[in-house]
Amino acid sequence: MTDTRYERSDFQSDQEVRWCPGCGDYTILAAVQNFLASLDVDKEDHVFISGIGCASRFPYYVNTYGMHSIHGRAPAIATGVATANPDLTVWVVTGDGDALSIGGNHLIHAMRRNVNVKVLLFNNQIYGLTKGQYSPTSELGKRTKTSPMGSVDQPFNPVSLAIASEATFVARTIDMDRNHTTEMLQAAYEHNGAALIEIYQNCNVFNDKAFAQLTGREERDANRINLVPGRPIVFGANNEFAVILDTGGARVVATADVAAAAIHVHDPANPDPSAAFALSRLSHGPYGPTPVGVFRDVDRPSYEAMVKQQLVDAQAQKGPGDLSRLVRSVGTWTVD
């Protein structure tokens, strides 16, 4: 990185960071602070809005404007901030319970409206703050305090959900991979409109090693599929696996078994979300071959830009608001 105006320390608040030692949240915080320092954006123009949960403590630790709000509502509150002042860079920090359980409705609507907010969804597949209950991304059969016999709830796939919610930008990354996280932050920042990054985040207290298949030395090569725009999707220590799209879905095949031309070339900018959706279905949770990277990145006017444009158009058509004309607009009469 070349000369920048800021250091990471400019984005560190004076509050003691209080996550459990070893929590994945620390790495994400460092990645975000470093990323913010790398941008040529005035510090005061960033706003972090969070809900409730371990992840949602995030804004207290970032020295920008911020609001630690209430459980699940951050996307709605961020919509209010972004619409009021489109010049701000608005971030939402949320957990899997916050975003997908109590706040599921707000999340999908923020996505479909394409509000220019960057949603960092810290998915640890557990309720951390409330001490270890199963979450809407916990795997089927998960045993927790509230599911002693195993969870019977089918989990969400957050990437599939976001794509189905008309999101214009959807990505996935992993807390331990700082460089990849930064790349995803950069891509989300550059995207105009709603962006969701699912970040696999290790909760070493209540759900340790949930992402081992993607992070463990032994397993990761065989399981981590890097999505790179414009490139055929191959993975494995020696690129021995490939992804093809046929019969309406995506499949993993041995690279040797297919013609090079049959391998799917990743195109996140494809207006048709079908391929991105198919890729998101390669895994359901971080088990077996699982794509990370940008699934979808398409252009659509942002919500607040359209809201603002309507104000401009209304003024052009009717002139600036005139209260004394307004109160006379349905006809008046005079009593002497």
Partner 1 sequence: MTKETLEAPVREKRDRLVLRFAGDSGDGMQLTGNRFTNASAVIGNDLATFPDFPSEIRAPAGTLAGVSSFQVQIADWDILTPGDAPDILIAMNPAALKSNIDDLDPGGLLLVNGDAFVDRNLEKAGYTSNPLEDGSLDGYRTMVAPMEELTKLAVADTGVKGRATLRSKNFFALGLVSWIFNRPTQPVIDWVNDKFGPDSVIAKANIASLMAGYNFGITTEEFQHLYDIEPAKLDPGEYTNITGNQALAWGLIAGAQAANLPISYASYPITPASSILEELARHKNFGVRTLQVEDEIAAVGVAVGASFAGHLGMTGTSGPGLALKSETISLAFQVELPMVIIDVQRAGPSTGMPTKTEQADLLLAMYGRHGEAPLPIVAPATPAEAFSIAVEACRIAVTYMTPVIVLSDGYIANSSEPWRLPDLDELPAISHPFATADDSEFLPYSRDPETLARPWAIPGTAGLEHRIGGLEHADLTGNVSHDPLNHEHMTWLRAAKLDRIAAGIAPLEIDGPESGDLLVLGWGSTFAAIRAGTRNARREGYSVAHGHLRHIHPFAPNLATVFAGYEKVLVPELNSGQLAMMLRAKYLVDVISYPKIQGLPFKATEIRQKVIDTITGTGDSEAGQ
Ligand X SMILES: Cc1ncc(C[n+]2csc(CCOP(=O)(O)OP(=O)(O)O)c2C)c(N)n1
Residues within the interface to ligand X (CB under 6 A): 52-55, 71, 95-98, 122, 124, 126-130, 135
From the list ligand SF4, partner 1, ligand X, none, partner contacted by residue 127 (C-beta under 5 to 8 A by kind): ligand X
By CB under 8 A, the residues from 25 to 84 that bind partner 1 are 42-45, 47, 49, 52, 59-60, 63-70, 73, 76-84
Residue 230 per-residue DSSP state: T
Residue 86 per-residue DSSP state: T
Which region, judged by CB under 5 A, interacts with Mg ion, from 73-81, 89-97, 213-221, 313-321? Answer: 89-97
* Contact status: 96 vs Mg ion (CB under 5 A): yes
From the list Mg ion, ligand SF4, partner 1, none, partner contacted by residue 335 (C-beta under 5 to 8 A by kind): partner 1
Tell me the backbone φ, ψ of residue 330, rounded to 5 degrees.
-105, 20
What CA–CA distance (Å, rounded) separates 93 from 91? Answer: 6
Contact 13/65 with Cβ under 8 angstroms? no
From the list ligand X, partner 1, Mg ion, none, partner contacted by residue 98 (C-beta under 5 to 8 A by kind): ligand X
Q: How far is the CB of 198 from Mg ion (least distance, A)?
A: 12
Using DSSP bridges, classify how beta strands 224-227 and 290-297 pair: parallel, antiparallel or unpaired: parallel
From the list ligand SF4, ligand X, Mg ion, none, partner contacted by residue 205 (C-beta under 5 to 8 A by kind): ligand SF4
* Contact status: 198 vs Mg ion (CB under 5 A): no
Q: Which two tokens stand for residue 9?
A: 């320390």
Residue 243 forms beta bridges with which residues? 252
Task: Please report the sign of the dihedral spanned by the C-alpha atoms of residue 40, residue 46, residue 51, residue 55.
Answer: positive
* Contact status: 85 vs partner 1 (CB under 8 A): yes
Q: Which is nearer to ligand SF4, 205 or 222 (CB)?
A: 205
Cα radius of gyration rounded to whole Å, the chain:
22
* Contact status: 23 vs ligand SF4 (CB under 6 A): yes
What CA–CA distance (Å, rounded) separates 134 from 18? Answer: 22
* Contact status: 158 vs ligand SF4 (CB under 6 A): no
Q: Which of 199, 50, 182, 196 is nearest to 122 (CA)?
A: 199
Residues comprising the chain, all counted: 336
Planar angle of CA 234, 236, 238, nearest 5 degrees:
90
* Contact status: 200 vs ligand SF4 (CB under 6 A): no
Q: Which is nearer to partner 1, 85 or 270 (CB)?
A: 85
Contact 264/248 with Cβ under 8 angstroms? no
From the list ligand X, partner 1, ligand SF4, none, partner contacted by residue 43 (C-beta under 5 to 8 A by kind): partner 1
From the list partner 1, ligand X, ligand SF4, none, partner contacted by residue 135 (C-beta under 5 to 8 A by kind): ligand X
Planar angle of CA 164, 168, 169, nearest 5 degrees:
100
* Contact status: 20 vs ligand SF4 (CB under 6 A): yes
Tokens 């008309």, located at residue:
166
Residue 255 per-residue DSSP state: G
* Contact status: 203 vs ligand SF4 (CB under 6 A): yes
Q: Which is nearer to Mg ion, 128 or 273 (CB)?
A: 128
Among 17, 30, 205, 253, indicate the residue that binds ligand SF4 (CB under 6 A): 205
| Helices 74-84 and 104-113, axial angle in degrees (round to 10) | 30
Among 56, 83, 124, 255, indicate the residue that binds ligand SF4 (CB under 6 A): 124
| Helices 178-190 and 24-38, axial angle in degrees (round to 10) | 50
Among 70, 86, 204, 300, indicate the residue that binds ligand SF4 (CB under 6 A): 204
Q: Which is nearer to partner 1, 122 or 295 (CB)?
A: 122
Give contact residues for ligand SF4 (rule: CB under 6 A). Answer: 19-20, 23, 25, 54, 124, 128, 203-206
